[in-house]
A and B are shown apart, each in its own frame.
Chain A
Amino acid sequence: AQKVTQTQTSISVVEKTTVTMDCVYETRDSSYFLFWYKQTASGEIVFLIRQDSYKKENATVGHYSLNFQKPKSSIGLIITATQIEDSAVYFCAMREDNYAQGLTFGLGTRVSVFP
């Protein structure tokens, strides 16, 4: 069965620095898709970035980038030049070929960005 693990409960950083979050996953599928979402203080869940398992190059969108290490079943999220508004809970999620089951989420990592 699929499983997504985020071991870091919370991280605090000073703004304008870089924060890195870990995520490891378990799957038996050879093809799968990995996503990162952000949940703001208002509860809104925002899609940030995704990585397709068959792509070797790390995905990058704006100041979000991924560190995809397939042999380690790891998909880290890197946020560069953090801003106060990056404070949120970040969820890692995976979707396997059995798409109907939707996403499997991790527990989330709370990031607090301080001035």
Chain B
Amino acid sequence: GPKVLQIPSHQIIDMGQMVTLNCDPVSNHLYFYWYKQILGQQMEFLVNFYNGKVMEKSKLFKDQFSVERPDGSYFTLKIQPTALEDSAVYFCASSEGTGVAETLYFGSGTRLTVL
């Protein structure tokens, strides 16, 4: 099936530093998403992004978070500054269309550890 690639697979950083997580979505997909999964908990929606703009974000999407996709390159999630509670696996997803029925395709996640 369609593949979403995430780089890197693991990232370890010190609290207060900036981190950028990269996502290469499926080539013809227009909608992009970030989800966060803390160990042992459910995967939770953070934000979705379309046509250069944030469409919707959850309360987990703190002010320290930002997303962008400059000129069709990687779809990125930036956290600046990071906090201990940001340690989690972050999953990127993309979908082709705009409808609620659209299937999301996920990457393998980036495991972020904040020390």
Contact = CB atoms under 8 A, between A and B. Distances in A.
Given A33-B100, A35-B103, A42-B108, A101 B43 contact: no
Given A42-B108, A46-B1, A101 B103 contact: no
Interface in A84-115: 91, 95-108
Contact of B104 (A43, A47, A106, A107): A47
Q: How large, as a class, is the contact surface on chain B?
A: 20 to 34
Interface of A: 4, 31-33, 35, 37, 42-47, 50, 52, 91, 95-108
Which among A33, A102, A103, A108 has the greatest number of chain B C-beta atoms within 10 A? A102
A43 B109 contact: yes
Contacts of A35: 103-104
A97 B100 contact: yes
Contacts of A106: 42
Contacts of A44: 106, 108
A55 B73 CA distance: 38
B74 interface: no
Contacts of B42: 4, 105-108
B65 interface: no
A80 B2 CA distance: 24
Nearest to A43: B108
Given A43-B9, A101-B45, 20 more contacts: A33-B101, A42-B108, A45-B106, A46-B1, A47-B106, A50-B103, A95-B101, A96-B100, A97-B100, A99-B98, A99-B102, A100-B48, A100-B56, A101-B58, A102-B33, A102-B48, A105-B35, A105-B44, A107-B42, A108-B42
